[in-house]
Structure 1
Amino acid sequence: MYNPPAFREDRPEILHRLMAQARLAVLVSNGASGVPDVSHLPLMHSPAQGIILGHLARANPHWKALREAGRAIAIFQGAEGYISPSSYPSKAEHHRVVPTWNYEAVHAEGPVEIVEDAARLHDIVSTLTDLHEGTRKNRWRVTDAPADFIQGQLKGIVGMVLRVETLMGKRKLSQNRSAADREGALAGLTTEQAALADAMRAQQGGK
């Protein structure tokens, strides 16, 4: 990932927060044909263990390529959005401005283990389910379904454990603009870009 110093984010607590908020990630690994294999997956990062958990459909050939490649990158996307040059006060001064796109992203890279053991796979699915059910009023648990049904469903998937060796974070949030242009960019965001506005304010506050 191209990552100029002005946009680089190295603080573990920020990177972990972005990964937890994103949840749906993009898993990329080298493909046998020379073309990268890509899957969109709900993943869970465990900072304490330094791992990322997920699973793929057994019918998805990516899991076999992952086993062959041995390594992968999980990409977590944070807030993002278009920034119009019309929002910059400097436009009225010299017109030397262009559009850009602000965004947050984290890349986690490391060796991958494919899990086919039924007990471990059950644990992965249960952990992911508990995470995403969260504080829902009527939480669903894996144990709510008949055991034989769950065992049958597990045969259709394989687990994935990525041990994180490298974390690279990028928060491109107008840090390279003047204070006036940053405020202008914030003011020019639409209501649909509330998440980006929050991210830009947090970055300006050092968070």
Structure 2
Amino acid sequence: MYVPAHFAPPDVESLRQLIVDHPLGALITNTGGELDANHIPFELDRNAGEHGILRAHVARSNSVWTEVKDGDEVLVIFRGDEAYVTPSWYPSKHEFHKQVPSWNYRVAHVHGRITVRDDEKYVRGVVARLTRTHEASQPKPWKMTDAEPEYLEMMLRNIVGIEIEVIRLGGKFKLSQNRELRDRVSLGEALKAQGDVELGQATLDSIQQTA
């Protein structure tokens, strides 16, 4: 991925946090000379392995788990907040008329080695943790024990676990860091005003990080 120095994430922890906040990853595999992409919610274990481990599950009917071999290198892309940027948000545009439209975004790329985990205990643990995490904000969180035991067992038999040992973590935070200060402040406030609060705040935070 092309990453100019001014668009580099501030640190590795910011990339890990993006993954936690936006856990739906695009798993890119290369088997038999063909690229394949599967969109899967992952959990990140920051403390496992040297650089962390991603865990998830796929449908047993999804051929991805039979096409990869343990140890194959894969890429997982996590896309955070993103938005179109109009030149009209930059004060300098109204003075010099030398701005063009753009698109701002934050992404994390995880390079790792995949392992298939086709065992019930592993899959049950992944499902339980993902459920607790994503049900936590619900008024009445759903629990695995809410399902009939026989139905739950059938569902668990129909999925397979995967684990990705993180080798390298990279990313790109394109937040108009190459613009002058007043343009960056104006952009951050404009994004928040139109409802892109997360990206707007990230834009304003990036000013402090580069100050």
TM-score, length of structure 1 as denominator length: 0.91
1:8 correspondence with 2:8: yes
Which of these residues, 58, 61, 66, is aligned with residue 59 of structure 1?
61
- 2:97 is matched with which residue? 95
- 1:195 is matched with which residue? 198
Indicate conservation of the 8 Å contact 1:81/1:102, yes or no: yes
Cα distance, 1:14 vs structure 2: 1.2
Cα distance, 1:45 vs structure 2: 0.6
List structure 1 segments (4+ residues) > 4 angstroms apart after TM superposition: none
Sequence identity percentage? 34
Indicate conservation of the 8 Å contact 1:56/1:159, yes or no: yes
Structure 2 gap segments, 5+ residues each: none
Q: How many residues align?
A: 206
Q: Which shifted more, 70-79 or 188-197?
A: 188-197
In the TM superposition, what are the counterparts of 1:47-196 in structure 2 within 5 Å?
Answer: 47-49=46-48, 50-67=52-69, 70-189=72-191, 190-196=193-199
Separation of aligned partners in 1, 2:45 and 2:116:
17
Separation of aligned partners in 2, 1:142 and 1:92:
57
Separation of aligned partners in 2, 1:10 and 1:64:
37
Indicate conservation of the 8 Å contact 1:79/1:199, yes or no: no
SS in 2 for 1:188: helix
SS in 1 for 2:19: helix
Separation of aligned partners in 1, 2:84 and 2:67:
35
Cα distance, 1:77 vs structure 2: 1.2
State the Cα deviation string for residues 108-152 of structure 1 (Å, max 9, x = none).
Answer: 111001111111111111121111112433222223323332221
State the Cα deviation string for residues 150-199 of structure 1 (Å, max 9, x = none).
Answer: 22112211111011110002111010001122123234335232221111
Q: Which shifted more, 59-68 or 152-161?
A: 59-68
**1:13 alignment partner AA:** E
**1:99 alignment partner AA:** P
